Structure 1
Amino acid sequence: MAPAVAVSAPASDERLRISPLARKIAAQQSVDASRVTGTGPHGRIVKADILAAAANPALLKSAAASAGAAATPPRSGTPFTGGAVAAKGPIQEERLAPVSTMRGVIAKRMVESTTTIPYVYLDIEIDAEPLLAVRAQLNTGLESQGVKLSVNDFILKASAEALRRVPTVNCSWEGTHIRHHGAAHVAFAVALEDGLITPVVRDAHLKSVFQISTEVKALGKKAKDKKLAPADYTGGTFCVSNLGMMGIPKFTAIINPPNAAILAVGTTVAKPVVKNGQVVAGQTLTVTLSCDHRVFDGAVGAQFLGALKDLLEKPALLLV
């Protein structure tokens, strides 16, 4: 049975009596040891004191500024970053929230997408080392000019070029007709507090990766500031959803009608790969294409992914 924990006035580190093990555990559990009363010899703080204190919000460092006050529970949506779980109350306020206009539109379109579109999912693994190397070289060499390219900038450009090679993917289902789009208007998903929005890089097939990067940054900022005009997020012919920056290695995305496909991009993964018959350290990237089977078949989707893989593994092709 753990000993009772008393809250005392803070003690200076010089006169703090604490065992090395207790000090280590206190650091790991974010316990303010200076406020713990020790039960060991001569009032020394021992392991059991720290473990008991970890369950007392008043003794955690996040609450040290207010002695005896319970730690504030994290807000809903706050990511867990490790350490002791101090809050013991509800995870959030229980309430009934009205559906926002954005959330309502998303719900309607996603239900439409998943109930009316026959899906085919295809994924392919890409050697990301050439892409990462070219990106690093460009960012280092052009840093003085304010250039900072992201992996997603290359993926958007590569998607536009792959659509040029396999244009059937750049189509829309219209009931009795299939509309073939002459331009690659590539949208990209931006996460907002109330949902997702997909700004569009128009005529991406005519723009350089540098132009795409500049436009993506401007559209992303407008999205975060809620200043996008309808023309900024409508009319896309293809969409890219990237969760790589969140550490997701692979996922499938829901098509945004009237598009016939969406590309889901995972994070780069360091792992052993086989090159020239030898197992070596490598960096891979997995992308998944969600296809509308009414518009094109799996073989066409496979051709698109093959073209995309070729472009991303030979990133110099995206710079000409």
Structure 2
Amino acid sequence: MATELTMPQMGYDMQEGTVVRWLVEEGAEVKTGDPVAEIETDKAVVEFESYATGILHRILVPEGSTVPVGQAIAIVGAPDEVVNGASAAPPAAAAPAATEDDGAVEPPPAEPSKAATPLPGPAEVLVPPPAPAPTATPLPVRASPVARRLADEMGIDLSQVVGTGPGGRITKDDVLAIHAPQEAAPPTPEPEPVVEAPAPAETVVDAAPTPVSLPAEELTAQPRRPVTHAAAEAEPLSRMRRQIARVTLRSKQEKPHFYVTSEIDMTDAMDMRRQVNAALEEQGGRITVNDLIIKACVDALKRFPKVNAFLQDDGIVTNEKVNVGVAMAVNEGLMMPAILDCGGMSLTEIGEASRDLADRAQQGTLHSDEYTGGTFGISNLGMFDVTTFVAIIQPPQTAILAVGTVSKNAVVRDDKIVVRQTMHATLSADHRVIDGAEGAQFLQDIKKSLENPLSLIL
């Protein structure tokens, strides 16, 4: 039986995706786990793997098209299986824009008799393209679902928007570009100061003739305010920035964050790191300070499983695997891909996995589960000489650790002032899942491991 490959949800709150490139052609054999397409999300371009084995009988969404999550983009079936046009009809009805934007949409009209109601509609539109074209352009046929929703919220007539997407399709950026000038237009209502002038004058009229003229001068200067209001004409947010805005806002609105901070003596850990790197130099390997922190967090998560859990409805679900997400800065913002199933990894294995993850994040070749599978997060701004900060929890996770730079400081040891290398770490946690005491104990467990670094390699 044929299997429809649908647009996957590759990130929290992802609503739609764009097929950037097909990696296989129609008629090619594919297996479960084989990369078949490159999908652009709000944050990156990700390889989409097939979850079915067989022949790729039909590609339903051409390169460059954007479709909602869950819409069919291809059909995989047995070698001798006949895939008729009926299989391709649901996506065409669900997203007419993708149907009309494709130049080769002639197969569906050839088989309208096999479908009940959905097919005759598109067939009639395609047969006489000159007549419906002007009407179809501003309608949902040529606009993405998000663009239509934004247009409704902003009161924008899509017939007045020029689409810049594939085949002239209207995108979110097109709607926002129309909305920006509308917001910037009101700054020049010069008559308003004149209308408001009598109001202040009447209230001050009892004072004296002289003060009456002062407000008038102030009011005549008010038209200059549009100079500062011109900042409203800023460049629209990128897809990644909008995604970051949605996720962080939702996290702060839904998750009652609490924070615990501790100072960690990293002197012994830094000494051990130098020794380990000296031993790994011939093999071309090395470990970073972040690798030490990841390993300490992995060990602590196994001892405190509730921190590795998440809230679902009225219950707490504990993740079976430890998948540590690592915040990474990229060109347009940041992402937090995860080192998957790292509960049993050694320190050197975590170092290798961390380097591989960072390389593939920059290349845009991460897998979808690495974007969405994190169970705990780490954000390290130490390389920017940041001492202390707090991080926002990545939904649906329960906690994230924010670590600062490792620096030399004067501390008291055995009633003596000595110089040690210290680091501040702050845990942000969801109060609905864990309480302050448990969060503090978890942080102390991390501190204990880093201050006794041999425990990280034994």
Q: Which residue of 2 aligns with 1:286?
A: 424
Within the alignment, does 1:199 sit opposite 2:337 as a pair? yes
Letter in 2 for 1:267: T
Kindly report which structure 2 residues correspond to 1:161-200, keeping only aligned pairs within 5 A, or say none: 161-200=299-338
> Structure 1 regions of 5+ residues with no counterpart?
1-92
Q: Confirm or deny: 8 A CA contact 1:162 1:304 kept in the other structure.
A: yes
Structure number with larger C-alpha Rg: 2
Q: List structure 1 segments (4+ residues) > 6 angstroms apart after TM superposition.
A: none
Quick one: which of 258, 270, 278 aligns to 1:132?
A: 270
> Structure 2 regions of 5+ residues with no counterpart?
1-230
Within the alignment, does 1:248 sit opposite 2:386 as a pair? yes
SS at match of 1:296: coil
Kindly report which structure 2 residues correspond to 1:106-145, keeping only aligned pairs within 5 A, or say none: 106-145=244-283
Quick one: which of 229, 236, 244 aligns to 1:98?
A: 236
C-alpha separation in 2, matches of 1:280 and 1:214: 35
Q: Which has the higher contact order (CA 8 A, sep 6+)?
A: 1
Q: Which residue of 2 aligns with 1:23?
A: none
C-alpha separation in 2, matches of 1:95 and 1:227: 35
Letter in 2 for 1:148: R
C-alpha separation in 1, matches of 2:424 and 2:272: 19
C-alpha separation in 1, matches of 2:315 and 2:240: 29
What is the TM-score when the length of structure 2 is the normalising length? 0.49
Letter in 2 for 1:257: P
Q: Confirm or deny: 8 A CA contact 1:168 1:300 kept in the other structure.
A: no
Letter in 2 for 1:241: S
Quick one: which of 250, 266, 270 aligns to 2:408?
A: 270
- C-alpha deviation, 1:133, in angstroms: 0.4
Within the alignment, does 1:236 sit opposite 2:374 as a pair? yes
Letter in 2 for 1:264: A
Q: Which residue of 1 aligns with 2:452?
A: 314
Within the alignment, does 1:148 sit opposite 2:249 as a pair? no
Letter in 1 for 2:356: A
What is the TM-score when the length of structure 1 is the normalising length? 0.69
RMSD of Structure 2 on Structure 1 (CA)? 1.4
C-alpha separation in 2, matches of 1:205 and 1:273: 34
More displaced stretch, 100-109 vs 257-266: 100-109
- C-alpha deviation, 1:113, in angstroms: 0.7
C-alpha separation in 1, matches of 2:274 and 2:413: 22
Q: Which residue of 1 aligns with 2:353?
A: 215
Letter in 2 for 1:166: F
SS at match of 2:355: helix
- C-alpha deviation, 1:269, in angstroms: 1.9
Kindly report which structure 2 residues correspond to 1:2-21, keeping only aligned pairs within 5 A, or say none: none
- C-alpha deviation, 1:274, in angstroms: 1.3
Number of residue-to-residue matches in the alignment: 228
- C-alpha deviation, 1:99, in angstroms: 2.3
C-alpha separation in 1, matches of 2:380 and 2:287: 15
Kindly report which structure 2 residues correspond to 1:33-72, keeping only aligned pairs within 5 A, or say none: none
Letter in 2 for 1:144: E
Q: Deviations over 1:279-306 (max 9, x none)?
A: 1111101100001000010000011011
C-alpha separation in 1, matches of 2:257 and 2:396: 14
